[in-house]
A and B are shown apart, each in its own frame.
Chain A
Amino acid sequence: MSSRKILVGVKRVVDYAVKVRVKKDGSGVDLNNVKMSMNPFCEIAVEEALRLREAKHAGEVIAVTIGPKKAAETVRVALGMGADRGLHIAVPNGDAELQPLAVASILKTIVEKEKPDVVILGKQSIDGDNNQTGQMLAGMLGWPQGTFASQVEVDPAENSLNVTREVDGGLETVALGLPAVVTCDLRLNEPRFATLPNMMKAKKKKIETTDVSSLDIDVAPRIEILHVSEPPKRAQGVFVNDVDELVDKLHREANVL
């Protein structure tokens, strides 16, 4: 059994199947009474950490979340999937959502305390769609990064990770010396469910809560959100009866053929 430690970041977000509504006053998206879940890419990150532990490449998997009180539920799900213990960096409720730079800064202090060998995150959260946190953390720590990973293999002899990355023209493989940061793409794995018995067992696992104010990190947003609006609506379309009519419309009306 390897003594490697893996830190996994998980985020509580609006469930992927929910069609969000923009608030009328343009201040943001309405999150009242909306189903929340673990960000899908974070589930993949937890799964990969667990698989590395099951393959004896790691000894301990720690799940961390940063967010309001309810974010602890998200860590609990990671524990139900099989993570060993949880960390919750509590951020008071409110509109001030943490931005990736603040999240990466907080994660850096956790990394310095817990000294993991690998940090695994999702490639992006489906609310902010930023795709920044993992890269920022790697830059802050001076660690190598394996972003958009679709395959992760440990090379025990070299104490390195071979990460296959999904890039625009296909796939690319990089070898990363440890410690390293990995961000997960969709194709990395199929996350397991946290079954009811495992969720019951997870209630006994420990979640350590730390208030963000005790970390002495500037988490004030550096990007000010001025306004949130609905995207422009498309004009109502029409149904055509057959292929002839379709081609005729594309040719004469839309002028794209």
Chain B
Amino acid sequence: MSAAAGRASAAALVVADGATVAVRSAVRAAQACASSSAVDVLLLGRSSSADANAAAAWEGVSSVIVGGADQPLTAEYAAPIVQAQLGSGAYRHVVAASTTFGKNVLPRVAGVLGVSTVSDVIEVKEDGGGEVFVRPIYAGNALATVRSKESTILLTVRPTAFEPVAERSEGLAEVSSLAAPEEAGGGQSRWVGEDRTESSRPDLTAAGVVVAGGRGLKSGDNFKLLEEIADELGGAVGATRAAVDLGWVANDMQVGQTGKVVAPELYIGVGISGAIQHLAGMKDSKVIVAINKDEEAPIFQVADYGLVADLFDAVPQLQEKLKALPKKQ
């Protein structure tokens, strides 16, 4: 049994598939839910053993539980482990980052338990007793403030909306392991394989700078222009659905309502018109730059700085200027 058993029931459990920046943001959100109570992290998946010590060093984490260690994660394997950990009744909140892992597993757990889930939370209301949340609906064109009436509150949280927790200055949280319950796996599904996109650049959702391209790039080869800018700024490269559908770049580079949501310090949109669905994925960026030759393009309505120009002239110029610029401290 975990260290959480028997603790006051205001504790929160963060369900995670690794010690990533997104999970550190989920820990921050869980802290906001549980106020001063405990936050435990349940680590599942192939890197769970290796990542346990990293998670144990995060501020605010009281214990790390490694569940069914080092397996590729199917939802059918993960959900019974989460349920087993919830069995003690020690947790009021169960939180996961809105990654494809969190979105796959948490609603399944909710279905088994017959409880509702709040998706993609961007704010935990301070005076809401851990029950009131804000979440975007209609591709971010409206914000709903909602109250969960469940006694166990399941939620996924948008990582870019919560500051990742820092490492603690001293000590480590306790690490324990939870044997996978027998029903885990269940023989219903089998993990067959994967095809990961190799990239040396920072993760799109955690990058401080995102340079994104759309149909205006005219070909996949031209994304090299954006890669050069991204590398100059230590950023990541994103794309619109159009660029992905045309086969120019990998699917997991899509920024938008149905792709990734980014909120970097600086977003540079190049050859992007700015459809509602794309804006849903980037309009919370701190500074937005748009480079487009059509001055009527909707992206200019959200851009802080707009440049009406042919990207094939402007982008190479931009790269030269950036090279010449002294690096930011």
Show the binding face of A for B, using Cβ within 8 Å.
14, 16-17, 19-20, 22, 29, 41, 99-101, 104, 123-124, 126-140, 142-145, 147-148, 150, 162, 165-177, 180, 185-187, 222-231, 234-235, 237-240, 242-244, 246-247, 249-251, 254, 256-257
Contacts and interface: CB of A to CB of B under 8 A. Distances in A.
Given A169-B252, A176-B188, A229-B142, A139 B136 contact: no
A144 B105 CA distance: 11
Interface in B111-153: 111-112, 114-120, 132, 136-150
A132 B190 contact: no
Interface stretch (B4-12, B49-57, B62-70, B297-305): B297-305
Given A137-B111, A147-B75, A166-B100, A174 B300 contact: no
A19 to B, nearest CB: 6
B196 A139 contact: no
Interface of B: 74-76, 79, 99-101, 103-112, 114-120, 132, 136-150, 186-197, 205, 209, 233, 241, 244-245, 250-252, 257-258, 260, 265-266, 276-277, 283, 286-289, 295, 300, 302-309, 314, 317-318, 321-322, 325, 328
Contacts of A17: 276
A165 B251 CA distance: 11
B100 to A, nearest CB: 4
Contact of B196 (A170, A176, A224, A231): A170
8 nearest A-B residue pairs (beta carbon): A139-B111, A136-B111, A135-B107, A144-B189, A132-B107, A144-B188, A139-B108, A170-B196
A114 to B, nearest CB: 19
Contacts of A142: 112, 188
A136 B107 CA distance: 5
Nearest to B117: A132
Nearest to A185: B258
B111 A225 contact: no
Nearest to B280: A129
Given A138-B111, A222-B115, A175 B192 contact: yes
Contacts of A254: 266, 287, 304-305
Given A100-B116, A126-B257, A246 B307 contact: yes
A226 B135 CA distance: 12
A165 B63 CA distance: 32
Given A166-B100, A174-B192, A139 B147 contact: no
Contact of B117 (A29, A100, A230, A234): A100
27 contacts: A16-B276, A29-B141, A101-B111, A101-B116, A104-B111, A129-B136, A129-B257, A132-B110, A135-B108, A136-B111, A148-B100, A162-B192, A167-B252, A170-B252, A172-B191, A172-B193, A177-B189, A180-B189, A187-B245, A222-B116, A222-B149, A229-B145, A243-B321, A247-B321, A247-B325, A249-B305, A256-B266
Contacts of B74: 144, 174
B104 A135 contact: yes
Contacts of A127: 137-138
Contact of B110 (A101, A177, A226, A234): A101
Contact of B115 (A101, A242, A251): A101
Nearest to B267: A256
A135 to B, nearest CB: 4
Given A131-B107, A187-B245, A256-B265, 11 more contacts: A129-B137, A129-B139, A139-B109, A166-B251, A168-B260, A174-B189, A174-B191, A231-B141, A237-B300, A254-B287, A257-B233
A237 B258 CA distance: 26
Contacts of B193: 172-173
A182 to B, nearest CB: 12
Given A101-B116, A254-B305, A256-B287, A20 B142 contact: yes
Contact of A243 (B146, B149, B317): B317
Given A147-B104, A246-B307, A250-B305, A173 B192 contact: yes
A228 B144 CA distance: 4
